Amino acid sequence: MLTWTILIGACLFFYFAGYRYYAGRLDRDVVRPDAGSHTPAVTENDGVDYVPSKPMVLFGHNFASIAGAGPVIGPIIAMHHFGWALTLLWVLVGNVFIGAVHDYLTLMMSVRNRGRSVADIAESTMGSRAKSVFALFLVLAMLLVIAVFGVVAAKTLIAQPEMVIPTFAIIPISMIFGWFIYKKGGNLAGASVVAVLALVASIYAGFKLPLPLEGAVLGLSPLMFWFVLLMIYAAVASVLPVHVLLQPRDYLSTYVLFGSMSLGIVALLWVAPGLNTPAYMGGFSQEQGPVWPMLFVLVACGAVSGFHSLVAGGTVSKQLSSESQGRLISYGGMLTEGVVAVVTVLLVGGGLYWVAPAGGGIDMAQLGFRETLKTGGWIHAFGHGYGNVVHQMLPVLEFTLASMIAVLALNTFVMTTLDTAVRITRFIVQESLGQRVPVFLNKYVTTAAVIAIAFVIGASDGWQKIWPIFGATNQLIAAVALFVIATYLIGVKRPTHYALYPAVFMVITTIGALSWQAYRFFTAPEPHLFLGTAALVLIGLALFVGHEGLQALKGRKISTEPVTSEA
């Protein structure tokens, strides 16, 4: 137990130190938050997208939107190929010095530009060409996210019908909670307790009353029925005022994940299992390639994610009540996602077995790391690792129920990411095309177009052709956002190295990963010409980003020291 206490304590302390000292330097040198300055949520308040929010409610929205399944998928796949030690190290270092910096600076840049998206701001800092290419790239990436997350959520509801009731029960619970808080001025703490208890009751109801779909429903297969229903949900939720569903649902969702992760941490400390997966598996994986750059691309959202810049500049900046709250909500939110990634590595590494123990007695089909990953994917690996450790601490909590709690927490966050992604894509399309094609200024028309295209991608399984390179795509978005931030900081005479150095690292790493993937795609026994070509196109985009970023910096003095002028 002492070893686990030291390991978990060291990780948490590292994040605390990063928030206290490194984020503190960001505040002093770069951000300089002004609590008295009016944010876009106040100056542009429209009661729909621009709405001042309670800080903890907005923290919940931001965290639920950026987390999704990312901090679970990436670390599990990375530790499968490179071991838990390097995976854990990158999750820690990447979060503090790149991921959280990326999120926080994107948020504050957007707040000081009337809540505009990072793609729209790119026009001012890097030129119209950069903005057009970036916006197109972002829309395509977001359409893929919407399609994939919709399919993943649908498949999860089929595989675990116990999750149907709690997955959809959170919608009315959240709407009633939001109405009570915002319309009736109710007490947040008391309402939170009641709402969370209602969520717990829905989890128990789902466990006792699973809702499997047998055969066709309304002429649709079970998968297509759930997918259509989820697309309809995402469309409706994305056009509702944020305080009606988005804010309260994301806020309550955080309790589901916080509760499950806290239970997991306590179980790790109580059971103190051995770390049964290898700590280090060498510098080269036969399936994935060299540890650099592939480890960084595989971990992805667990350390840094370009998608977060879209959330920060898409929804969070439009709801931030005070600049002084930005550090907690954005930098703190990313570190919290890092904690989820850390706990994932430890739960899967301690709850599953790489090889069967000498004494036997372990069902490797259920508790084998490679076995569960092969048969059920990362969802089963996470659920079974979590369920094993928690069940050992609380035998009264059945393994199946414990596993369901873990998977439910993930699926709840997938739902939040789904409709947030639709809303963000609408913003980008409206900013990019609204002035030239006025019909896209209508949120209903734009939302319908986004949902229709995402539906076609998901229903046709076309997403499976491009998904293998999505990790690199996500990292490339982060690199572009960091370059936009760096060029913006020059304009306001602030130190650039906090964003510029990570931007250069991310571009080089992304080009390295895409180059390796292109080589593997083209030289495979059955060459994947589509994926190889897509990888080359993304390499071209990465080079374009690097060129445009350096051109924007060229001829200007890049500040690396604090200055006294204000933004």
Contact indicator for 468, 452 with CB cutoff of 8 Å: no
The full length of the chain comes to 567
**Cα-Cα end-to-end distance for the chain:** 50
For residue 93, give Cα distances in angstroms to 17, 98, 100, 180, 303.
Answer: 12, 8, 10, 41, 8
- Least Cα distance to 157 among 206, 108, 114, 198 occurs for 206
Contact indicator for 344, 71 with CB cutoff of 8 Å: yes
Residue with tokens 């409206």: 430
Question: Which amino acid is residue 529, in one-letter code?
Answer: L
Burial of 140 (0-12, 13-18, 19+ CB in 10 A): middle
Burial 40-50 (b: 16+ CB within 10 A, else e): bbeeeeeeebb
Give the model's pLDDT for residue 428: 86
Separation of alpha carbons 52 and 38, rounded Å: 10
Give the model's pLDDT for residue 320: 93
Listed as ranges, residues in the chain with pLDDT below 50 are: 557-567
Contact indicator for 546, 507 with CB cutoff of 8 Å: yes
pLDDT tens string 53-95: 889 889 988 888 888 777 888 899 899 999 999 999 999 999 9
Give the model's pLDDT for residue 107: 95
Question: Which amino acid is residue 396, in one-letter code?
Answer: V
Q: Assign residue 83 a region (left: φ > 0; alpha: ψ between -120 and 50; beta: otherwise).
A: left
H helix and E strand count, the chain: 25, 2
Q: What tokens were used for 415?
A: 């739902």
Q: How far is CA 485 from the centre of its chain?
A: 20
Contact indicator for 227, 154 with CB cutoff of 8 Å: yes
Give the model's pLDDT for residue 188: 85
Backbone φ and ψ of 353, nearest 5°: -120, 135
- Least Cα distance to 222 among 210, 233, 213 occurs for 213
Separation of alpha carbons 11 and 6, rounded Å: 9
Indicate the SS3 state at residue 353: strand
Q: Rounded to 5 degrees, what angle do the CA atoms 45, 48, 53 make?
A: 65
Give the model's pLDDT for residue 317: 93
| Side-chain-facing half-sphere of 272: CA atoms under 13 Å | 8
> What is the gyration radius of the CA atoms in the chain, in angstroms?
23
Give the model's pLDDT for residue 566: 40
Question: Which amino acid is residue 52, in one-letter code?
Answer: P
Q: What tokens were used for 530?
A: 């589509």
pLDDT tens string 309-322: 988 988 899 999 99
Give the model's pLDDT for residue 558: 42
Backbone φ and ψ of 473, nearest 5°: -60, -45
With a CB cutoff of 8 Å and minimum separation 6, the contacts of 394 are: 267, 402
Contact indicator for 476, 510 with CB cutoff of 8 Å: yes
Give the model's pLDDT for residue 90: 96
Kindly state the DSSP code that residue 38 receives in the 8-state scheme. P
Contact indicator for 108, 31 with CB cutoff of 8 Å: yes
For residue 502, give Cα distances in angstroms to 76, 95, 100, 525.
Answer: 24, 11, 11, 36
Q: How far is CA 277 from the centre of its chain?
A: 25
On whether the pTM is more than 0.85, the answer is yes
Question: Which amino acid is residue 206, in one-letter code?
Answer: G
Give the model's pLDDT for residue 468: 67
- Least Cα distance to 292 among 510, 122, 525, 117 occurs for 510
Contact indicator for 257, 331 with CB cutoff of 8 Å: no
